[in-house]
Chains A and B, each alone.
Chain A
Amino acid sequence: MFHNISSHSTKLDEVSVHKKIIFTCSIAATLFFITSPIIMFSIFLVLLLIYFFVGGLKFLWAGFYQLKITIPFVVVLALWHFYLDHLDKGITLIFRLISAFLLANLFLMTSKVHDIILVIQRYSSSLKVFGANPHAVSITIGLFVRSIPILYQRARNLMLAQSARSTKRGFWRISVPLAISILDDADHVSEALRARGGIKKRDD
């Protein structure tokens, strides 16, 4: 279910994921402090140039294509600010949104999901400071990511079973069996975890 959004090979593929996370987060945070539409637009152009230099024209196009999900947001922001006659603010907000998406996609398109999860699990050990058990956090993250495709497949199977029994469709009809199956899974998986030694205590 998870794969790289882009199959393009780029110059950023080999850069370590945690450097890319730090870069993405710090630039994204900076975007919120910029209020000038000209600077915001320049950042947008710089990001496009980065796409081009990192992966060529095809990669730039793929990055642009990923922006399609922002279209409804951009249209609403544009109409709203045109209506209010706040064009400066509107342009800043629109290019902030687009730049933030370009930045996040740049990270996603050049990193494998598996590597991202490994980095998250490694960082989770720092949660010790807050009294969390890093082993528990790491197992929970792994289980979470692994169970999404399983639950998705189960929801589809339930929908198929439902459509075999009745012409009435709709997600809500399968929501009770889906929820009960999840609770069943929780019993089985936690037993299985315990049988394999369980989650380590904080001090181990």
Chain B
Amino acid sequence: MEKTSVLVALFAALIAVLGLVPAFPLASGVPITAQSLGVMLCGTILGSKKGGLAALLFILLTLVGLPLLAGGRGGIGLLAGASAGFIVGFPLAAYITGWLMEKTKSVDIQISVALSSIVGGIVVLYIPGLIGMMINAGMSLNAAIVAVSVYLPGDILKVTLATIVTSAIFKARPESIIARH
């Protein structure tokens, strides 16, 4: 119980700290940030439930008003912005990433992490993200897809990084990767 609480709190804090790494705002109004890397790591290291809870804790406190999102953004006003869908999608993305990690325990760690973070951190995250852009920015589906495609290279970089970090930890201490217990 104690360990779960602490892991959830610390990984939620990791997502917040990754937001302090400089973000690059792009034309579509959704900035490139390292925060989705944090979301992927929550899933790949902590697994579905704990990872999802960490992302949920981060999002709830951000929406209540703590300025934790990249660029010091926070507050219920975020739900009116173009990135609302991505923000709301964080817990789901972390959960699915973790769930896939748990389902691919027998596969080589690098393949398992890469697959889980591509599906969870990109595919699953982009669905609510696109819906958010369509609602809040009034874009059509095609326009929203074109707009988010700019983020793909950055996200693929994050998947690579998540794979490097998770497999390095797995090599050093396999017991720390809870998703593979």
Contacts and interface: CB of A to CB of B under 8 A. Distances in A.
Are A and B part of the same complex?
Answer: yes
Given A93-B138, A136-B1, A28 B34 contact: no
7 contacts: A70-B81, A104-B76, A136-B5, A139-B9, A140-B5, A148-B17, A190-B3
Given A175-B161, A176-B164, A97 B77 contact: yes
B73 A69 contact: yes
A27 to B, nearest CB: 9
A100 B72 contact: no
Interface string A172-204: 100110111011011101100110001100000
A104 B172 contact: no
A194 B73 CA distance: 35
B16 A179 contact: no
B172 A180 contact: yes
Interface in A137-165: 139-145, 147-148, 150-152, 155
Contacts of A28: 76-77, 79-80
Nearest to A25: B76
Interface stretch (B23-31, B105-113, B114-122, B123-131): B23-31
Interface of A: 2, 5, 21, 24-25, 28, 31-32, 69-70, 72-73, 76-77, 80-81, 84, 86, 89-90, 93, 96-97, 99-105, 107-108, 111, 113, 116, 120, 133, 136, 139-145, 147-148, 150-152, 155, 171-172, 175-176, 178-180, 182-183, 185-187, 189-190, 193-194, 198-199
B66 A116 contact: yes
Contacts of B20: 152, 155
B138 A5 contact: no
B75 A143 contact: no
Given A24-B75, A100-B78, 14 more contacts: A28-B76, A80-B138, A101-B80, A113-B66, A142-B9, A148-B68, A152-B17, A152-B20, A175-B165, A179-B41, A179-B45, A180-B172, A182-B14, A185-B6
B122 to A, nearest CB: 18
Contacts of B169: 176, 179-180, 183
Contacts of A86: 138
Contacts of B82: 73, 76-77
A21 B28 CA distance: 30
A197 B25 CA distance: 46
A185 B5 CA distance: 12
Contact of A76 (B2, B27, B34): B27
A140 B5 CA distance: 5
Contacts of A133: 1
A187 to B, nearest CB: 8
B145 interface: no
Interface in B53-92: 57-58, 61, 64-68, 71-82
B138 A89 contact: yes
Contact of B65 (A72, A93, A116, A194): A116
B149 interface: no
A141 B20 CA distance: 19
A147 B10 contact: yes
A149 to B, nearest CB: 9
B148 interface: no
